[in-house]
Amino acid sequence: MDIEGNFVKFNAISSLAVKWKGKTAEELRDSFEFYRDITTGPFEKLGQVTMIVPLTGKYFAEKVTENFVTIWKSFGTYTEVQAKTINKFLEAFENQNFPPGSSIFFTVSPVGSLTISFSKDGSIPEVGNVVIEEGKLGEAILESMIGEQSVAPATKQSLASRLSDIMNQEANA
């Protein structure tokens, strides 16, 4: 990326480009494996959910975790550790309310910890409200945003288009 006349390469893009450069936006958009490489990659990831309608934090958290628990149980991977993680996630949202335009930020570190931040005005918070150290939850949240059963197909399309452009520019640089 060109920033004030300097070419800056981002680690996430570089690690993805090794495997995915030269692919079209459509090829990336349709590749389950591409999005898995993003959600599980060894770099920090940031997801943002912005409310269109008002929601209580309790309702949001229950709906988000409902699917994860069902999937983990079906794979036989739902453990006591994950049950505690889900409870901590639910507690983080317990007293929250999200009017239209407010956002929830999910940051997943390279080692898997999940930081949750809240913004009522759309700004990006400088510090997180809650940190959860169990990595599977962060991956699952990102997977719900951009994975095979994504709740946001337009986000997948935008991500595929932008990353295809950036990786192909890097390949041609």
pTM score, whole prediction: 0.84
| pLDDT in the model for residue 112 | 81
pLDDT tens digits, 21-72 = 999 999 999 999 999 899 888 888 889 999 999 999 999 999 989 888 888 8
- In total, how many domains does the chain have? 1
The CATH number of whichever domain residue 41 belongs to comes to 3.50.70.10
Give the residue numbers spanning the domain of 161. 2-172
Give the other-Cβ count within 10 Å of 2's Cβ: 9
HEC per residue, 43-81 = CCEEEEEECCCCEEHHHHHHHHHHHHHHHHHHCCCCCHH
